[in-house]
Amino acid sequence: MTRILAAITLPLSIVLTILVTIVCSVPIIIAGMVKLLLPVPGIWRKVSIFCNFMMYCWCAGLAALLRLNPHLQWDVEGLEGLSKKNWYLLICNHRSWADIVVLCVLFRKHIPMNKYFLKQQLAWVPFIGLACWALDMPFMKRYSRSYLLRHPDRRGKDVETTRRSCEKFRRYPTTIVNFVEGSRFTHEKRQQTHSPYQHLLPPKAAGIAMAINVLGSQFDKLLNITLCYPNNDRHPFYDMLSGRLTRIVVRVQLEPINEELHGDYVNDKTFKRRFQRWLNMLWDKKDIQIEEIKTSYKNAGQ
């Protein structure tokens, strides 16, 4: 019976999600074209406000779809003290496409609309790619070590993209989201990267280091987010669409952005090592936290 319900729910969820995305992204795309054709600061500000409102509508639509699942429960800690008037740098472990939905739905009423560091390939996804472009989200093209050895002129290009993108966010409160692992966690990727963590890939520091360097003291806090799907660890996004997702665990920690986190990550090797040590310490704690969450729910039989 469960498989039959999942077979019905999955295509219905996909269709409804696509409809919500199209309805919200088309106005954003049109507004983005207006912004492109009319480079007037006053118009740009109004377009940005409109685009953020439509993104909020998209998040609200996804929240409504999640409420259709009567079995889904949220376990959230740490939302106190957040404000839509602040600038945040949000870092998070990356397990699934479901992570983006969770962050949008959960934080839409608590912090400014999220701006994601996105892979270049996403720019070509219909509707989503164009909408993200209109929202000024930075697309980053990562290069492998072997490619950079053959093409040293490309070194640092993704970091320069980060710098240009972050400059745009000075005008209005923004939440910049960075999945610092650079890719969704799988056990195969964990082995390939020789990750020292049980539930995480090694973090990549360049993106957030550059964001902190560009926006400086404008960031009020670092939001360190831990996501976990203790009952649906293998395929959270598929289970979300098919109505099988039963629990989403989110832990929010506000971290200070101290002066020692400001520096030239590209050219200052001492600062680079210090910044990497700081980020690795956060990841050590996050890995332990995920293990504790999974163990607690396993022991509780949930």
Q: What is the pLDDT of residue 275?
A: 95
For the residues 199-220, what does the mean pLDDT come to?
A: 85
pLDDT at 165: 67
Topology given in CATH for the domain delimited by 2-300: Glycerol-3-phosphate (1)-acyltransferase (3.40.1130)
CB within 8 A of 20, min separation 6: which ones?
58, 61, 62, 65
Q: Where are the domains of the chain?
A: 2-300
Q: Give the mean pLDDT of 105-128.
A: 84
pTM: 0.86
Average pLDDT of the chain, as a whole number: 87
Tell me: pLDDT of 142 over 80: no
What's the confidence (pLDDT) of residue 25?
Answer: 87
- For the cut 80, the answer to whether the pLDDT of residue 95 exceeds it is yes
Of 37-51, 156-170, 270-284, the least confident: 156-170
215: tokens are 């926006």
Contact between residue 28 and residue 58 where contact means Cβ atoms under 8 Å apart: no
pLDDT of residue 99: 97
Q: How far apart (Å, rounded) are the C-alpha atoms in residues 48 and 116?
A: 15
Three-class SS of residue 29?
helix
pLDDT-based confidence at residue 36 (cuts at 50, 70, 90): confident
Predicted confidence band of residue 1 (pLDDT cuts 50, 70, 90): very low
Cβ 28 vs Cβ 54: under 8 Å: yes
Contact present, 26 and 127 (Cβ < 8 Å): yes
